[in-house]
Each structure stands twice: as C-alpha cells, then as structure tokens.
Amino acid sequence: MKIILAGATGAVGAPIARALLVAGHQVIGLSRNPNGLPEGVQPLTADALDRDSVLRAARGIRADAVIHQLSALKKNPMRHQDMALTNRLRVEGTANLIALAREVGATRFLTQSMIFGYGYGDLGDQPLTETAPFGRGGRGRFAAHIGAMRSTEEQAFAIGGIALRYGIFYGAAEDPTVDMIRRGRLPVPKGGMISRIHLEDAATATVAALEHSRPGEAYNIVDDLPASWRDYFCTVAETHGAPAPKAIPAWVLKATPYLHAIFTANCRVSNAKAKSELGWAPRYPTYREGIAVTTGR
C-alpha cells in the first residue's frame, strides 16, 4: 500500500516508517520539517494543524491509508502544560488528517491513542480490555488529556478508522533517564503498575493493524507483563551497571500533579485482542527482554 504517515520523524513514527518499508509498503512522511525522515520515506511538508497547508501539500497525491502518529512531545511530559500541543494534535490534527485521507482517497485510517484514556488513577488489578470505559471522566486538567484521546478515537471511528491504544513507550536508542540513573538523579516512588510497549513492537503492531484490523475497532498495544516504575528503572540500572534508584514516597511528587499521576497509576492492560485479531505478538514480551536488547546485552 501507499501510506501517508504523519509524524514519521518522531520517536514512535520513525520505527513505524521503517517497519512499513520492511513490510513492502510505500511511505510518504508528513512533517513540518522533512529533515530526519528515515531513509526511503518520501517527504510531504505541511503543518498538520493548518488544514489548508495539509490539503495543498497533498494535491494530486493518491494513497491507500493515512496513519496519525503526531506528537509534540520531545521528552517525557512532567506537567499538564507539556501535553497542551499534543492534545491539539489529537483533536484538530486528527480532523485535518481525516480531511487529508478524503483528499487522497485513502480507505484506511489509523490513529495513535494511549492507555491513559482508560484513566490516570487506580484502575484495579485486573487487565483492562478494549470493552472497558474509555475517554470518560478525569478531574481538573486531566479531563483535557482524556478528552483529547477520546476525540481522536471518535473521529477515527466515525470513518471506520482504527485506534491503537499504546502502553508507555520505551526502547529509544538515546534514553536520557539512563544518565539520570547513573548520576543518582532519578528517585522513583514505590507503587503503580503499568503496561508498556517497546518502540519496535509498537511499530510491528501498527503494521499488523494496518493490514489486518477490523474497521471501527480499538486495540491495546502493550507487552505481556505490567510492571511498576521502580522495577522497570531498577532493571535499567542493573543492565547499565548503575546503582538502583533511590525510593521515595509518592507524596513527594504531588507538587507536579501530572508526574504524580503517571508514576502512581495502576493501569494494567490486556493485549489479547491484538494478538488474536492482528496475528501479532510482541518480540519483547516483557520489559526485561526489551531493556536487554536496547542496551545490547
């Protein structure tokens, strides 16, 4: 297929672009700046928040699918305001990419969503399936983040599109938290269990969804083993030969409500639907294998 991939230069989009190419698809990367596109990706320069810009850039192009992987996050978000532009991309950007899909005649539309659409609090000890309430509630400024995820999904579903609810990403070649751990500058609170996904597994799952998903469906894209932040970062430290991060009480993070919510969330998610319907399974079933391969050990 010929695919327009929005966000092809990003930490998530670039591995997806490479996986699409390996699978034999043709990839056009939509970005404000074509520098940094993976080799083999054709550039399409436009601002996704400017509909006229997007439609002008796409004039005369035909494509089979549009994949929305836009994010404004250059590093891990710590404050509510860090999510503001990404929220806009999930609301306004999705609308503009759907207009793009119509312009180019695409019959497939995939959008990036996240497991935090289920909520930021304690969601229980049983893994959540795609039938659990999604995109509802959220107090204060959390409502904007959850609402943005609901918006991108609802817009996609309205045209028979697919929503991919990714877990916490990890596996980037350059991870700034490694240096923080080595310097003893990453204390981690106890508690909080969350599902993750290695970036390379997120990419292969996205290709599988493009090729095998059912219209109007959501899929949880996570590995097989939820884990606490402390267990995760202790494994990172051990793999790099660094001392384990110091443990701190969770209340210390309350001064930064968004970070506190991320580190204390109990969000265990099931990948059973993605496995059964997409014919996909993570190459790295747990964070332990994923961390080991990222460090080359």
Q: How far apart are CA 29 and CA 17, in angstroms?
A: 8
State the amino acid at position 279 in one-letter form. G
For 243-261, what is each residue's pLDDT tens digit?
999 999 988 988 899 999 9
| pLDDT of amino acid 296 | 58
Q: How far apart are CA 93 and CA 99, in angstroms?
A: 10
| Full set of structural domains in the chain with CATH | 2-171+197-222+270-280 (3.40.50.720)
For 56-103, what is each residue's pLDDT tens digit?
999 999 999 999 999 988 777 878 888 999 999 999 999 999 999 999
| pLDDT of amino acid 41 | 97
| pLDDT of amino acid 48 | 96
The pTM assigned to this predicted structure is: 0.95
Given a cut of 70, the residues of the chain with pLDDT beneath it are 295-297
| pLDDT of amino acid 182 | 86
Ramachandran category for residue 96: left, alpha or beta (phi over 0 → left; psi -120 to 50 → alpha): alpha
Q: How far apart are CA 129 and CA 119, in angstroms?
A: 13
